[in-house]
Amino acid sequence: MLLAGWLLLPACHNGAGQAIPQPCQPVTETLPFSIAAASLAGGYRFRMVARGTASPRASAVGKLSLVVQDPEAKQRPGPFDVTDTIHRYPLIGAAELDFAAVGAVTPGGAASLDPAAPGVLAIERPGAEPGAPDRLIFRLGTDANRTGRVPFDGGYTVLRLRRADTREIAGDWESGAPLPRASGYFCAERIGPP
């Protein structure tokens, strides 16, 4: 499935011959493009940066692993409706990072690759109209992503992808318990297989 409507985010990847990665920066330009969700599977160096009054400019660096989800497990209840047939769940993953350093919560933790309760779940929604851009978010927390459970209230952290290519993914994030309490931007530089 193709993803589109991403925003350009400079940096977060190593340039040719560069020894030090450029700093993670917030979204600054619009650049629509498309990419297959399955092509995002891999291992990443993951950085989250907070903005706002809770913890201004705090950041944390860790790891993010994404794998293509087993086709038999792709049908999960949507975030509000167990009869949801619109959303797709192309990837699951795990994240290791000090989420508290940026004011984010991860109900149940984010380090699990268990398909029944992954630490990271990619949720893809096709554009509202034919030809409209798809949207892709990553929901963090095993409790929020447990198969057969419909999250209604409680803590959450969501990463909204705005840019993706063969070297990096990037965008913004929001976290709350249950109301939004922290937000910022993130980037993840590909470093290898999951």
Residue type, 78: G
pLDDT single digits (tens) 74-118: 555 444 344 556 778 899 999 999 999 999 999 999 999 999 899
Domain that residue 29 falls in: 2-192
pTM summary value: 0.78
**Does the pLDDT at position 171 exceed 50?**
yes
Find the CATH number of the domain harbouring 18: 2.40.128.120
In angstroms, the CA 13 to CA 26 distance is: 14
pLDDT single digits (tens) 1-55: 434 333 333 344 433 333 445 678 887 655 555 677 889 999 999 999 998 755 5
Domains in the chain, number: 1
